[in-house]
A and B are shown apart, each in its own frame.
Chain A
Amino acid sequence: MGARVVLRASQVGRALALACAVLLASFMARGPAGAAPLAHREVLPNGIVLLVAERPAVPIVAVRVLGRAGAVYDPADRAGLANLTGAVLTRGTAKRTGPELDSAIEFVGGSVEAGTGRDTLIVSMTAQKKDLTLGLDLVSEVILTPTFPEAEVARKVSEIQAAIKRSEEDPGTVAARALGRLVFEGHPYGRPVEGTRESVARLTRDDVVKFYRERARPDTTIIAVVGAVTVDEARREILARFGSWSRPADPPATVPAASAPATVREETVKRELTQTTIMFGRQAVGQTDPDYFPMAVGSYALGGGSASRLYTRVREESGLAYAVYSWVAPWRLGASFAVSAQTRTAEAPKVIAMIREELARMGREPVAERELALAKQYLIGSFPFRLDTSGKVADFLVATEDRGLGLDYADRYKERIARVTAADVQRVAAKYFAPASFNLVIVGETK
């Protein structure tokens, strides 16, 4: 049922903003006073945190199993190992081959996918309620008895290498990769999740098996079950499959938090394109820091929506870009703040100057009352739409639990955002938005 369409707003920008917002913004965890919390939470005897949200109206169930097995735990000479592990995880279990697993879940119109990010490896399952037993069987097989067949590892290595090669033609990906390296220099976050073609070439099945054995453990696993299911049913089904997964005696290895590199840098990547992609970035703070909330408001006022300063000046008034936006991205061990735009090559210096001016202005003078109110009301008020499907609720639950934000985070977030003043925004902008503190990546035609 495909249809080709052209959107007004930047899809990339919106998607990024949304992805970040799901992790960081507020939402109606509780409805009106006295309503039930978003989810039931309990810790199973082996340490698994189980979160269940009942949404009975539509007969589907979304499950997420989060493990602390993201790319940040890749050994320094094995960039891409976590990502490869995630890619092969669904490619064979003690009971089924990868193709058998695909056929089983797709026959009922469901899906089982594994995806790796900087911090986590998440297995996602969606199925109709009637197929929940099958879906959970597959998820538990994938998590508890993956076989990582040699041939499947080899397949994924060449697929990932080809995907990396292909991504080199996408200027946004090229810029984000380079910026990550500059912003998190010296920390594992600086390495691309997928690794490089060279690093991936060195990975072996033994690496994968060892990595998974070390990182997959019940006491760092979070499971969310959301949809047409009751708490009792979810607990019973999860315990039946994961209850005997035993917790290792040793604590899991940890990675230190990111600290800001000593210097900021500029990097230019030459590409024969009609546009230049501009990406500014630096380290920032996450939700556990009080500065986070004014920063979220400030980022929205600067480049968050179609009423923001950058959108107004760069796009609406000057016609210099289709996509221009800023966003805060919090991770478990660090956070980043970035501003990005794509413009015709001849105008890149002008857009760079505009972004620098607007960054500086955020710290120099307070935002207007109306800008402040708009940003706060948007961040608070739009949240229900970020939790309007079972899949989105499940994503949110495992992410907030993993960050230790608590089930009341939504309420606290709303309250903290509501309290942000123009002076708070200015103070935090002076601290984090100073133009000279940003790394800059430019991808495009250069003189």
Chain B
Amino acid sequence: MRIAILLLLIVSLLAPPSSHAADRVVAATLDNGLRVLLLEDQRSPIVSFQVWYRVGSRNEHRGSTGIAHFLEHLMFKGTPSHGPKQFARLVEENGGQDNAFTSQDVTSYYVDIAADKLDLVIDLEADRMQNLLLDPKAITSEREVVIEERRTRTEDDPGGFLGEEVSSIAFKAHPYGAPIIGWMDDIKRVTPDEIRAFYKTYYVPNNAIVVAVGAFRAADALEKIKKRFGRIPRGKVPPPMLAVEPVQNGERRVVVKKQQAELPIVYMAWHVPNQGSDDAVALELLSTILSGGRASRLYRDLVYQRQLALEAGGDNSYFSIDPNLFWFWATPMPGQTPEKLEAELSLHMERLKTEPVTEEELARAKNQIEAAFVYQEDSVHQRASLLARFEIIGGFALKDSFLAKIRAVTAADLTRVARTWFAPDKKSVGVLLPKS
């Protein structure tokens, strides 16, 4: 969960808002279904150009997990007109930075580059949306890279390993239970044909969002995007993901021993609704009250006052497409047991159900979320990412109502939401035990 903690910080910075921000977004849907969001930001001569595909590990099946992420790697392996390695080379020799990530819900590619290179990036991204080589030899060697990545992130990382185990017991039916990077045997097995079929199915303009923020004229940029991406034919509507996670009946638990671990870790996870529910913003606030900074409950009590934990926190997945998990975690200090920390985390959860949070806690959490929105406005990359995240869950304009929803939450709402969602017999618990 250390990765998740880091990402919590990153993603909170993605929050934007200034009520005026969305007003200036130029939004269009091309004839082939490609969604385009453009926002002018003339402060520096730079642009962040991002392509988000509505496909992630959520769209995978048993036996071929990790295919979305594997494909993300292969998107850098060339097309007939831009051969292997040309993508990175062209971007770097034009002073740009590029990368990509795969999540449960999306696969996202970005190039941050000087604004006068926008044509180049549009050309590269449009090309690989349609013409990826997927050469079997490249797949063979990249498979080994992905396997190494899995070793780094999961096999040799106790926190990553435990997180994967907990997700897999929390979800019985829904693909969120499988790791984004895939199970090792699936990574080893998946065939070039399956990857090609996955690409053909999901990498179609009507399943993608192009977002750009930076120093361009939106009308010009839109014309360029239409000209280049507009040529790509609309694809079939990708198959819907139909799995629904049944209600959890009874606590689930996994205990993992890792020889290389120095300290135990405790994870607790509850199923919570996604942003479509009125409870979602309250869960955001709960997560902030529990672990947003050193004045937050878990830090102040478990880390600071009683020194039971080296770190502790809680994390909600607000932008999740389907209902996902609300996580609690703690790393016990040497001499403390995971049992003790699990009991303490449970007490905090119970307290949320019985005592309203204080006015100060609620106001602080609201102010923290609001400030994070303002900080995010400082970077074109973050501005673009946030527009895309809201677009994925229903429309970029949702970002303007998000803060109003946050402000409307009361202490009584938090109590009700905690009682509704955090039943003791509906949790999944993971414990990592170190050597000896």
Contact = CB atoms under 8 A, between A and B. Distances in A.
Given A128-B374, A166-B262, A381-B95, A5 B103 contact: yes
Contacts of A162: 263, 310, 333-334
A169 B85 CA distance: 35
B319 interface: yes
Nearest to B14: A1
A244 interface: no
B52 to A, nearest CB: 12
B141 A384 contact: no
A306 B75 CA distance: 13
B260 A272 contact: yes
Contact of B331 (A166, A275, A377): A166
A6 B104 CA distance: 9
B194 interface: no
Contacts of A158: 307, 333
A159 interface: yes
A176 B158 CA distance: 19
A133 interface: no
A110 interface: yes
A94 B29 CA distance: 59
Interface residues on A, range: 35 or more
Nearest to A110: B371
A106 B317 contact: no
A273 B156 contact: yes
B11 A106 contact: no
A389 B294 CA distance: 24
Given A272-B260, A275-B148, A6 B101 contact: yes
Contacts of A116: none
A143 B54 CA distance: 49
Interface string A365-381: 00000100110011011
B223 interface: no
Given A320-B144, A389-B378, A4 B103 contact: yes
Contacts of B360: 103, 107
B317 A316 contact: no
Contact of B319 (A1, A60, A343): A1
Given A155-B307, A159-B310, A4 B73 contact: no
B374 A319 contact: no
Interface string A119-148: 000000011100000000000000000000
Interface in B340-375: 360, 363-364, 367-372, 374-375
Contacts of B304: 99, 155
Contact of B101 (A5, A319, A384, A390): A5
Contacts of B381: 385, 388
Interface string B36-48: 0000000111100
B3 interface: yes
Contact of B99 (A14, A60, A312): A14
A23 B101 CA distance: 26
Contact of B294 (A5, A57, A102, A343): A102
Interface string A172-194: 00000000000000000000000
Contact of A3 (B103, B153, B371): B103
A7 interface: yes
A8 B334 contact: no
A407 interface: no
A108 B180 contact: no
B43 A57 contact: yes
B11 A7 contact: no
B339 interface: no
B72 interface: yes
Contact of A390 (B144, B300, B378): B378
A322 interface: yes
A220 to B, nearest CB: 28
Contact of A381 (B5, B94, B155): B94
Nearest to B3: A4
Contact of B152 (A58, A169, A275, A320): A275
A228 B282 CA distance: 32
A446 interface: no
Nearest to A170: B157
Given A4-B104, A107-B367, A342-B152, A319 B142 contact: yes
A344 B149 CA distance: 10
A245 to B, nearest CB: 26
B229 to A, nearest CB: 22
B145 A322 contact: yes
Nearest to A155: B307
A4 B4 contact: yes
A315 B5 CA distance: 28
Nearest to B370: A109
A322 B148 contact: yes
A336 to B, nearest CB: 23
Nearest to B73: A8
A388 B114 CA distance: 12
A381 B145 contact: no
B69 interface: yes
B21 to A, nearest CB: 11
Given A107-B367, A275-B156, A382 B145 contact: no
A307 B95 contact: no
Nearest to A382: B95
Interface in B60-96: 69, 72-73, 76, 84-85, 88-89, 92-96
B318 interface: yes
A380 B99 CA distance: 19
A168 interface: yes
B428 interface: no
A109 B103 contact: no
Interface string B300-338: 100110010010000111111000000100010110000
A332 to B, nearest CB: 28
Contact of B93 (A58, A275, A377): A377
Given A4-B7, A307-B88, 16 more contacts: A1-B284, A2-B327, A58-B378, A99-B304, A102-B294, A109-B367, A165-B263, A168-B262, A171-B156, A316-B141, A322-B145, A342-B151, A381-B94, A381-B96, A388-B380, A389-B378
13 contacts: A3-B319, A4-B104, A4-B180, A106-B292, A107-B367, A111-B293, A169-B158, A273-B260, A274-B156, A306-B92, A307-B92, A344-B151, A388-B44
The 10 closest A-B pairs by CB, nearest first: A381-B95, A109-B371, A319-B144, A319-B141, A306-B88, A322-B149, A102-B294, A322-B148, A5-B101, A374-B93
